[in-house]
Amino acid sequence: MGIPLDKAELLALFLETLVYGIFFTLCCITCIVLASVHHGGTHSRKIIMPTAFLMLALATAHLIIDFIRAAHAFITLGSPSGAAIEYFGEVSDGLFLAKSLLYLFQTLAGDSIIIWRCYIVTNRRPMLIALPLIAFIGDIVFGCIIVARMIRAPDGATIFSVLRGSFAAYTSMTLAITAYCTGERPSRSLCAICWRIYQPSREWGGVRTLLPVLMAIIESGALYTAGVLTTLILFLIESNAQFAALDLLMPLVGVVYCLIILQIRY
């Protein structure tokens, strides 16, 4: 287990709050930038801004639930030895189930945006997104399995024993979608994104010309993939640190989304 569960939850709350602040700031900047762009604003009005607000709402609700759970564990339950650990370890707890649902919705929203970006930069060719769409359907299926297993989890069961196979499958599907849609081979979507950034920035000259391309590589795939992969590894080795990584992903999905939008300059 490594880090105790109560300390892992405190670490998760700190990191989530920190990244949420970054996400909130980026979301405000993104909305201001998009509102000031009058040309080519169809995507901004119909897809991009509503998605940003949705992700912000999900991340906000998740953070509020985490604060409520922390207050209940450390203030309401108070001093009894192991009370907080026992509370945080209850898989079928209503608030834990609610925050897990929010996580599923947030990651599904992030995956759908990645697939949509792949579709846009490949000139709207449906065949090129067939595989990630299949993986996305798999995400939904395993997400439903996760919820069902959590609801029926017996008392005293750990998250690792209840969700080991289903959560690993869900996370693997997310990794597959990210790898495909930011990969070079089937759709060359990452290359297309980089080229679209590179063209208007050539006038900068010198090394600065490459900076937007490097930023796109980091923003479009590596940052999100690193977070998901870290969560999966920590879960498989049954480390309580996975709770911190998992909560961190909630605002991180929105951070990556806003960075992509700002960098591509919709």
Which residues span the domain enclosing 19?
5-264
Q: List Cβ neighbours of 246 (8 Å cut-off, separation of 6 or more).
A: 12, 103, 231, 235
Structure tokens at 197: 């950034």
How deeply is 6 buried, as exposed, middle or buried, from its count of CB atoms within 10 A (0-12, 13-18, 19+)? buried
CA–CA dist 232, 226 (Å, integer): 10
* pLDDT tens digits, 202-245: 544 444 555 555 555 555 567 788 889 999 999 999 999 999 99
* Domain total of the chain: 1
Structure tokens at 149: 């297993």
CATH number for the domain spanning 163: value is 1.20.1070
Q: Give the mean model confidence (pLDDT) for residues 94-116.
A: 92
Of the candidate ranges 61-65, 192-196, 234-238, the one whose mean pLDDT is the lowest: 192-196
Of 24, 36, 11, residue with least CA distance to 257: 24
- Asked if residue 3 has pLDDT above 50, the reply is yes
Q: Say what the pLDDT of residue 196 is.
A: 52
Residue type, 15: L
* pLDDT tens digits, 129-146: 899 999 999 999 999 999
Q: Say what the pLDDT of residue 26 is.
A: 93
Cβ atoms of 266 and 37 closer than 8 Å: yes
At 89, which helix (H) or strand (E)? none
At 29, which helix (H) or strand (E)? helix 5-36
pLDDT band at 77 (very low <50, low <70, confident <90, very high): confident
